[in-house]
Structure 1
Amino acid sequence: MKIRLVNSGVFTPIDDIKTTLTAPTDGFYWIDADVEDLAELQPLFSLHDLAVEDSQSEEEQRPKIEIYENHYFIVVNSIRFDDEEIFLRALNIFLGRHFIITVTKQKIHELRAVKPLLWEDEANSPDRFLYILIDLVTDNYFTVGDRIEARIDQLEEDILMHTKKSHLNEIIGLRSEILWLKKVLGPQKEVINTLNKKDLRLIDDQLQKYFSDIYENAVKISETFETYRDLMSNLREAYQSSIANRANEIMRVFTAMTTIFMPLTVITGIYGMNFDNMPELHWKYSYFAVLGLMIFLGSGMYYLFRKKEWL
């Protein structure tokens, strides 16, 4: 657990947790905690039992905002895209009048990235911290969206150039993750909308208006992932068409080969008959003549098929 006094964006480490119980003269306290630290923090800050229970739960948390007497409990999902797989990590936030507590189970990039922004913005209140943090979390969805779009483009190019069976598994897997992500974006969008429109006493009225900009970005993200879902459907159709075209190409080659060998088979069948009165059988050069005729017919038909682009 790390405790910092944030005053005009400047961080001052705090060693004694009890110091944070009293509001500072200037600034606010940021407590960056792990789930295990909630046992100590709950009685000190009168954190609601249900909020603490949700933070400690092993189950996936739905984005939400809950309003209690002396604090708000907010859950948003941070996003990562590693090794072609999407990860969502819950960011639990307890917002008070003079403090903000962030609780995570895994490391979240936005908590590290927020520090220089707080200094640049000269943040001096916990609600300002909340705004900057949620803005960072939302913007990161655009970054992940760009990587997903690049992956879709690369997958489309690979399918058009050389279709593989593994491409279908990639399409199904990526489409499932996009659908799952879009399902999660709905509640998160509503949380941001609540911060934008609802009368919340722990958030300054002037600052509350800025959440409308984050909400617009959340709507754009939701629409973008809706587009990605449609692109994945198109990609699956492209895969199936490519497989069908490839099968047609193979069948066309086999058909052409069969057609070429048909007259050759007729010739060999004729001269394979066991009749005595076949003058060509007793001719000195009959073998070479028939063989030459077969080569001429086969080559001629092959040339004809190539000219008509059937092969």
Structure 2
Amino acid sequence: MAKKRNIGSIPGTIVYTGNVTGTQVSINYLEYNQNGYRAESALNNGEITIYPPIDEYIQWYDIRGLHDNDLMQKIVSSFKIHPLVIEDAVDIHQRPTYVEYLDGHFISLKSLEFNSEKSTVEKETVSIYFGNKFIITFQENEDDIFKVIRERIINKKGRVVAKGADYLAYIIVDYIVDNYFSVLDAVEEQVEELEESISLQSDDVDKLSIYKLKKNILKIRKSIAPLREAVNLFSRSDSKLIDSKTLTFIKDVYDHTIQIIDNADSLRDILSGLQDLYISEVSLQMNKVMQVLTIITAIFVPLSFLAGLYGMNFVNIPELRAQNGYYILIGIMVLIALSMIYFFKSRKWF
């Protein structure tokens, strides 16, 4: 895990706490209403174009990449945003939160994606700031996770084109939260496969897979648990920038967060049970091996006694001079072994 690098800094200091890559920051602009839209996309060249407000349009600035501190400072100056907004936006360790400012609202949350090749849940920090007729989104990576929403606006699907920036913020939060269900479904499938493997053949189960699943579930829960409170605050806002009808939809997102937490807790309990089952199966297999070895040892103890008895170097051992003494001793050993096997089976010891 990357360590925070802004400890002790002055409040409002913009310091990106993630891993700096060589990719350029991408700035995507979209203005839209019910009648049409205009979209622009460009790599950051040290400048950001701020268009004047248009009463009839919603303006959406989508920033992909958080490592350009100079650009972030220009956003603060251009939109007159509180410095703490950008400080939290570029801090990838910031827990999901909701903060209401005088001229806008800030939401920070985590976007999750399930990597099927590595069987891991990957996390990305996403932040939203919206005010009157404009919204700014900050994505940690260069991949566009809002492509579906963008296409919905361009194709005029749904009521988003007729609503304000607050509704677009809701749509983005709802989309990220809904994606948690897909991630949970993928993890649940792996848990079911693990349960089947343990039940059928525990020897083929890699204990590392149990650790990965526990880590994935923990990552999901750490992302959604604080978001529940953030969405709850969002749904209770009495700001003039949020339509009362939008609050009803946000409350539905709050219900989804509770459902996801319940599902994650259920998966965690199931996985804990599977871990106990795995340990029990391994112990059972070990007990079976020890049982077989104990039975073999028990059978050979009297046979070893007889072999040792007649292997002593005394001269006067009557049976040593018997013509068929060797065969008689072998027969007695076989009879003892068979009798002990019959006794063990009658007691159902193996």
TM-score by length of 1: 0.88
**Distance of aligned partners of 1:303 and 1:12 in 2 relative to their CA distance in 1, 3 Å threshold:** farther
The residue matched to 1:121 in structure 2 has which SS?
Answer: coil
| Residue number in structure 2 paired with 1:283 | 322
Tell me the residue number matched to 1:95: 130
- Structure 1 segment 12-27 matched on structure 2, within 5 A: 12-14=38-40, 18=49, 20-25=51-56, 27=57
Given that 1:72 and 1:94 are in contact with CA atoms closer than 8 Å, whether structure 2 keeps it comes out as yes
CA RMSD of aligned residues (A): 2.6
- Aligned equivalent of 1:7: 33
Aligned partners of 1:117 and 1:310: how far apart in 2?
Answer: 68
In the TM superposition, residue 49 of structure 1 has moved relative to its aligned partner by: 1.0
Which residue, out of 223, 236, 239, partners 1:197? 236
Tell which deviates more after alignment, 156-165 or 260-269. Answer: 156-165
Percent sequence identity is 28
| 2:113 equivalent in structure 1 | 80
Q: Residue in 1 aligned with 2:225? A: 186
Aligned-partner SS, 2:95: coil
Between the aligned partners of 1:109 and 1:149, the Cα distance in structure 2 is 26
1:69 lines up with 2:102 in the alignment: yes
In 1, distance between residues paired with 2:216 and 2:293?
A: 40
Return the offset for 1:173: 4.4
Query: Matched residue pairs, number?
Result: 309
Q: Which has the higher helix share?
A: 1
State how far apart, in whole Å, the 1-side matches of 2:245 and 2:160 are: 14
Inter-partner Cα distance in structure 2 for 1:28 and 1:191: 24
Return the structure number with greater relative CO, CA threshold 8 A, min gap 6. Answer: 1
Gap runs ≥5 in structure 2: 1-26, 43-47
Q: What are the residue-to-residue correspondences of 1:1-311 with 2, within 5 Å?
A: 1-8=27-34, 11-14=37-40, 18=49, 20-25=51-56, 27-34=57-64, 35=66, 36=68, 37-57=71-91, 59-82=92-115, 83-107=118-142, 110-118=145-153, 119-124=156-161, 125-163=164-202, 167-306=206-345, 308-311=347-350
Q: Is the 8 A contact 1:4 1:14 kept in 2?
A: yes
CA distance in 1, matches of 2:287, 2:41: 73
The answer to whether the Cα contact below 8 Å between 1:182 and 1:222 also exists between their aligned partners in 2 is yes
Q: 1 CA distance for matches of 2:310 and 2:255? A: 83
**Which TM-score applies when normalising by structure 2?**
0.79
Query: Which deviates further from its counterpart, 294-303 or 95-104?
Result: 294-303
C-alpha distance in structure 1 between counterparts of 2:311 and 2:142, whole Å: 80
Match for 1:7: what amino acid?
N
**Residue 146 of structure 2 aligns to a residue in which SS?**
helix
Amino acid at match of 1:62: R
Deviation at 1:54, TM superposition (A): 1.7
Corresponding residue SS for 1:276? coil
1:246 partner SS: helix
SS of the equivalent of 2:319 reads helix
CA distance in 2, matches of 1:185, 1:32: 23
The one-letter code matched in structure 1 to 2:96 is P
Equivalent pair of 2:112/2:124 in contact (CA under 8 Å):
yes
TM-superposed deviation, 1:75: 0.6
CA contact (8 A) 1:110 1:133 kept: no
Partner-residue secondary structure (3-state), 2:174 = helix
CA distance in 1, matches of 2:148, 2:126: 14
Give, in whole Å, the separation in 2 of the partners of 1:304 and 1:15: 83
Q: CA deviation at 1:191?
A: 1.5
